Amino acid sequence: MFEALSERFEGAWKKLRGQDKISETNIQDALREVRRALLEADVNLQVVKTFVAQVQARAQGAEVVKGVDPGQQFIKIVNDELVALMGENNAPLAHADTAPTVVLMAGLQGTGKPPLLPS
């Protein structure tokens, strides 16, 4: 799943390579790839819509820093929004006071939910 997501994001960055500035049209092309990547990774549609809207708003108003190409600038914007969406800090799993600690793993068949075995 992460490989497919990485490949789609790479496709989005390629659309901005060789551009001298971030424009409405190249933002739309790149965001289309980001949207597809997230939807194929089974991200909730409303979350994808909100995320893409936030990235678009930041990218349209972004000035490309001298020495940084638009693709790198766009990657920074997407990365910052992903960090804001998922949270900046890692939260450890809660453990039950008495064993066993129950963890529910939910997802589609074949998406990599290996059983957790006690250590």
Please give the model's pTM, rounded to 2 decimal places: 0.69
Q: How far is CA 83 from CA 19, 25, 51, 86, 99, in A?
A: 26, 25, 11, 5, 33
For the structural domain made of 2-86, what CATH number should be given? Answer: 1.20.120.140
Place of tokens 């059983």: 115
Please compute the mean of the pLDDT values over residues 47-51 and round it to a whole number. Answer: 93
Q: Are 19 and 26 in contact (CB under 8 A)?
A: yes
Please compute the mean of the pLDDT values over residues 113-118 and round it to a whole number. Answer: 64
Residue 59, pLDDT score: 83
Q: What is the CA 32 to chain-centroid distance, rounded? A: 13
pLDDT at residue 8 tops 90:
no
Each domain of the chain, given as residue ranges in start order, spans 2-86
DSSP letter at 76 equals: H
Band of residue 46 on the pLDDT scale cut at 50, 70, 90 = very high
| For the chain, percent of residues with pLDDT exceeding 70 | 76
Please compute the mean of the pLDDT values over residues 43-62 and round it to a whole number. Answer: 88
DSSP letter at 92 equals: P
| For the chain, percent of residues with pLDDT exceeding 90 | 15
